[in-house]
Structure 1
């Protein structure tokens, strides 16, 4: 019979945010690291900083060893319930490139203005130097 995994919301995990009761979320799993706070090589403040948010990036950036990852599994108390996390909207490339396309379109329409400014500047410079 498979074991049932306990699901926790990010809100529930974030309520455990003290040195004596500290939970973190990494890769969709919830870990109770309260008993490991004093032994953590980075100090307990590092763990306390990531309570209440997904600490996956911070965990990966720290470059944890294989043995650290194995040890971490012993602190797993459940998984993050992703059903209440708002999903990000995926923006298509066509929508994403709208601004650059618009700039190109405008620059094609109004190319006369910068060319005229440069042309006038050249004429004024020529006339100024010619009078000297």
Structure 2
């Protein structure tokens, strides 16, 4: 029977002198492999303290690389200690009042009202000037 570790226990092994990873529910002590890892040791060290399955799969490791994992296997992870992934839920959209004026109308009014005021001011000036000449 294999040993079962909690996430807290595995997370303590997070340096380049002592590095454990969780991949597909299994725990691997990859410390001896750090110097030989083609992507460098930092990639492995940053994958500690969490479920690194997605990181491992996203890279597209070869079947040979996957087979090498057996050499570093130390036990299984207690899956109840790993937080489950939650799916993205977009924020609720604020419902717009259908009776309220649309943004287009407001922008149009913000443009037209000053023009109308300017037109009235200029028009009244010409009107008063022409009235004075009579």
> TM-score scaled by structure 2?
0.69
What does 1:13-92 align with in structure 2 at a 5 Å threshold? 13-87=10-84
**Separation in 2 of the partners of 1:120 and 1:45?**
57
Which string of whole-angstrom CA distances, capped at 9 and with x for unpartnered residues, describes residues 13-44 of structure 1? 11222333221112221111122122111122
Aligned residues: 122
Structure 1 unpaired stretches of 5+: none
Structure 2 unpaired stretches of 5+: 124-134
| Structure number with bigger Rg | 2
Match of 1:125 among 112, 115, 118: 115
User: Structure 1 113/62 Cα, relative in aligned 2: closer, same or farther at 3 Å?
Assistant: closer
SS at match of 1:99: coil
> TM-score scaled by structure 1?
0.69
SS at match of 1:54: coil
**RMSD between aligned residues:** 3.1
**Separation in 2 of the partners of 1:39 and 1:98?**
45
